[in-house]
Structure 1
Amino acid sequence: MSNTQTISEFQKLFAEKLEKEAANIENTEPKNLYEPISYTLKMGGKRLRPVMVLMANNLFGGNIEKAMPAALAIEIFHNFTLLHDDMMDNADMRRNHPSVHKKYNDNVAILSGDAMSIMAYQYLVQTESPEIQKMVQLFSKTAMEVCEGQQYDMNFEDTLSVSIDDYLNMIRLKTAVLIACSLKLGAINAGADTKDANHLYNFGINLGLAFQLQDDLLDVFADEEKFGKKIGGDITSNKKTFLLLKALELSSPAQKETLINWIEKKEFDIAEKIAVVKNLYTELGLPEISKKLMEDYYQSALEELSTIKIASEKKEIFIDLAKMIMKREH
C-alpha cells in the first residue's frame, strides 16, 4: 500500500473490515448480548482512532492487514466507553440513533459494554508482532487511564472548585490518551524507533486535547443537525468544561452570580438555561479564547510530528488529519 493514501481511503478500508466483523458479532449467541454490540458498531462515525492505527503503521512501512486487529481493538474499546458514557450521562441519542440503554435497557448496556471491553483485548492479541507484549501493556495502561478520566469527570460534577489544569488533566486521560495510544500502537506494530513512536504519541496527546476542546465548543455552538445530538447538554448538566471554568474565572460579580444561580437551580426551563449561559459565554469571548487554546495544542502537535525521522511528504496525511479535527462540525 502506498504512503500517499488519503484518510478517506483508510476509513473505507477499515469500514469494510468492521462491517464484516459486526455482522459476525450480530450472529453470535446469546443474541441479547451480541446484538447491541453490533448495533453500536454499525452506528457510524468517522472511525478516526482505528484509522490512526493504520496510518501510523503505514508511516513506518508496516503491513496494513497485520495492523487491523489493533485497529479493531481500538474501535471496539472506544465504542464501549461511549456506550457506558451514554448510560452515565443518561443520553438519549448517539450519532442520530437511540443510545443502547434507551433502545434496549440499562442492564443490557452494562453487560454488552463489559463484553466489548473484553472483546477489544481478544482482537488486540490476534496481532502478529514481536512487540505484542508492549502493545498490550500500552493498551491496558490507556484503558485504565480512560477510566480514571471518567472518574475525575464524575468527581467534578458536584464541585465548582475545579481548576483549568484539573480539567485539562481529565480530558488528557478521558480523551487524548486513546488517540495517542491509537497512533503509538500502529507505530509499534510497524517496528518504529522508540523515540519516533513517542513523538507520535505526543502528537496524539496534543491533538486529543484540541479535539476535546473542540467537542466542548461544538456542544454549545454547533449546528444541531450536523452535530447529531442536541446541543447544550453540557450546560444543562453543569458539566465542568473549559468554557464553564473559564467563564467562572473571567466573569464579573454580576455575571458570576447569574451563572451560579443557573448552576444551582434544580428545576429550570432547559432552553432558557442554554440560551442564557450561551449568551454569557459569547459576551466573555469564550469561543475565541477556546479556539486560541486549541490552536496552541495544534501547533504543539505539529512540532512533535516534525521531529519524527521520516520524510516530510509521508507525514502530510497526519497534518490533514489534524486539520480535519480542528475544522470539524460534529
Structure 2
Amino acid sequence: MIGGLFNLARPLIHRMDAETAHRLTVTALATAPALKPGADDPVLATEAFGLSFSNPVGLAAGFDKNAEAVDGALGLGFGFVEVGGVTPLPQPGNPRPRVFRLLEDEAVINRYGLNSEGMEAVAKRLGSRLRRNGLVGVNLGANKESADRAADYATLARRLAPLADFLTINVSSPNTPGLRDLQAESALDDLVARTLAARDEVATVGQRTPILIKIAPDLTIPELDGMIAVARKRGIDGLIVSNTTIARPDSLRSASKAETGGLSGKPLFTASTRILAEAFLRVEGQFPLIGVGGVDSVETAFAKIRAGATLVQFYSAMVFKGPGLAKEIKTGLATRARRAGLTRLTALIGRDAAAIARGEGL
C-alpha cells in the first residue's frame, strides 16, 4: 500500500526542490501515527556488537538528522535506524541549494555540511523515547569551526551514549572541510581513544554502548589498512562501509553530475561493495560490518551480505523506490535464505568477499 501511494505521488515529489521534499517526508513520518509492521521472519534475526536485530535492514544516517522521526521510520519495517550526523553545537550547514537528484542515474549529490540542531536537541528527543521498542544509533560529527574536533566526538559520546543503542564516529563526510583528514591513522587513533574513554566515563554495568566508525569509499588500500589497524587495536565494535563518494563515475548522465558534494545511490554500489569486501578480509571476524552504498533492491542488499556485511543500510534509494523498500528487501532476503535451506541468513555473510574484492561476482 505504501509503495502504491508513493508511485502515485512520485511525479509531484520529484517536481519539488530535493531538500524541500526531504523535509516534508521527515515531517510526515514524525507527525503521522507510526505504522506497526508485522513480526520479522526468524531467518532474518541477526546479532551484532552485542545487540539483537529482528532483521538486518537499517535506515542510514542522513535521512533523520535530528531524531525527529525515529518511530515513524521504524514503522516502515527497518530493523534499526541511525540518526544524525549530530554535532555538539547547532550549525546551519552549507547554503542552499545543497541537495541534487540525479534522476537518470538514480543518485543524489548532497553538500549539506552536517547541518544539525545540535546535541541537546537530539538528546531531548532520544530521551523521550527511551522505553520504546526499536534499535537506534547516532552518527557523530564535528562542528565546522571546532578547534579540537576529536574533543567534539568525545563530548558527543559522553552525552549521547546513555541514550543510544550504538554510536558512529563519522570521519568520512566529504562536506566538512578537513573532516576526512581524521581518517589518517595517527589522527584516528587519538580520536578513537578519546571517544572510547568518554563513552566509558558514562557507562554503567552492562550498558557499554558500542562504538562504530564510518569510512569513505575513496580510501586507498594502505589507508584502509591503517584505519582497520586502529579499529582492531582500540577494540572498535564495528565499521560502516561506506559514506558518500567524491568520485564521479563516467557513467553519470544527469546534468547535475558536476555539482560538488558526496554522491550516493546506485552509482556508488560497486565501489562501496568492493571496499566492504576488502575490509571484511582484513577484519578477520574481529567485529561486524554494516554495508551501505547503492542498496536499492534485494539483489544489492544480498550482494552486501555476500561481500561481508552483517547488516545493511540505505537512504538515497527511498528517493526513487519509496518507503516500502525496507519491507521488500526483508521479504526477498528471507526468501533467498529459505530457498538455500538456511535457518539464518547470517550463514551467507562474506561468502564471496574474496571474489568481490578482486572485482568479480557483482
Q: TM-score, normalised by structure 1?
A: 0.32
Highest Rg: 1 or 2?
Answer: 1
Higher-helix-fraction structure: 1
